[in-house]
């Protein structure tokens, strides 16, 4: 049987979904669990809604970070993308960052993945590299033509902008 949240996920637009979550904060745990579940009809939409109604480093999500990371490689592109966006908004500890960086690297290197998934994986790699400058060389290496040529010019430009920011951060870190 479909829950009230599941029903709302499939019939509403994002603004109405966010309003629903604000009116029903008691459903937030269900939203998180649904976002990491294998309910094809609901899970990617739940993850999509989750990042739209969470605050940066949301304390309600912290206890689920390990589970999100653990299930991330097993999900379909759309759900992975939305979960990566959730993780982009969270402060991860060093152990989690290493694992997430590895997962994102694999996603990025698989050029058959959707461009939006790969872009969000790269974005998270850059965020982690800013905190751990020793990873910036690897991140820069992964922006070679093999991985970026299949992306649109707009996405490539965004990738290069992120790399420039990363390079500036590394220079400032060395000083």
Q: What is the mean pLDDT of residues 124-134?
A: 96
% of the chain surpassing 70 pLDDT: 96
Taking only the tens place, the pLDDT of each residue in 36-82 is 999 988 999 999 999 999 999 999 999 999 999 999 999 999 999 99
Taking only the tens place, the pLDDT of each residue in 4-13 is 999 999 999 9
- HSE-CB of 87 using CA atoms within 13 angstroms: 34
Q: How confident is the model at residue 170 (pLDDT cuts 50, 70, 90)?
A: low
Predicted pLDDT at 40: 87
Predicted pLDDT at 56: 97
Q: What is the mean pLDDT of residues 130-146?
A: 95
**Residue 125: closest CA among 113, 143, 110:** 143
Q: What is the mean pLDDT of residues 81-92?
A: 98
Predicted pLDDT at 104: 99
Report the mean per-residue pLDDT for the chain: 95
Residue 116, number of CB atoms within 10 A of its CB: 15
Predicted pLDDT at 168: 85
Predicted pLDDT at 61: 98
Q: How confident is the model at residue 174 (pLDDT cuts 50, 70, 90)?
A: low
């Amino acid at each position: 049987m479909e829950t009230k949240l599941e029903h709302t996920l499939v019939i509403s637009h994002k603004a109405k979904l966010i309003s629903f979550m604000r009116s029903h904060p008691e459903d937030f745990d269900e939203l998180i669990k649904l976002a990491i579940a294998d309910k094809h009809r609901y899970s990617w939409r739940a993850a999509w809604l989750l990042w739209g109604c969470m605050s940066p480093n949301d304390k309600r999500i912290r206890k689920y970070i390990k589970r999100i990371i653990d299930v991330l490689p097993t999900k379909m592109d759309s759900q992975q993308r939305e979960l990566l966006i959730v993780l982009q908004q969270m402060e991860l500890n060093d152990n989690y960052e290493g694992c997430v960086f590895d997962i994102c690297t694999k996603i990025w290197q698989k050029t058959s993945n959707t461009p939006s998934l790969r872009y969000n994986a790269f974005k998270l790699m850059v965020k982690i590299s800013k905190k751990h400058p020793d990873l910036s060389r690897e991140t820069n290496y992964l922006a070679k033509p093999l991985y970026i040529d299949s992306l649109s010019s707009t996405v490539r430009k965004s990738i290069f902008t992120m790399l420039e920011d990363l390079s500036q951060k590394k220079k400032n870190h060395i000083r």
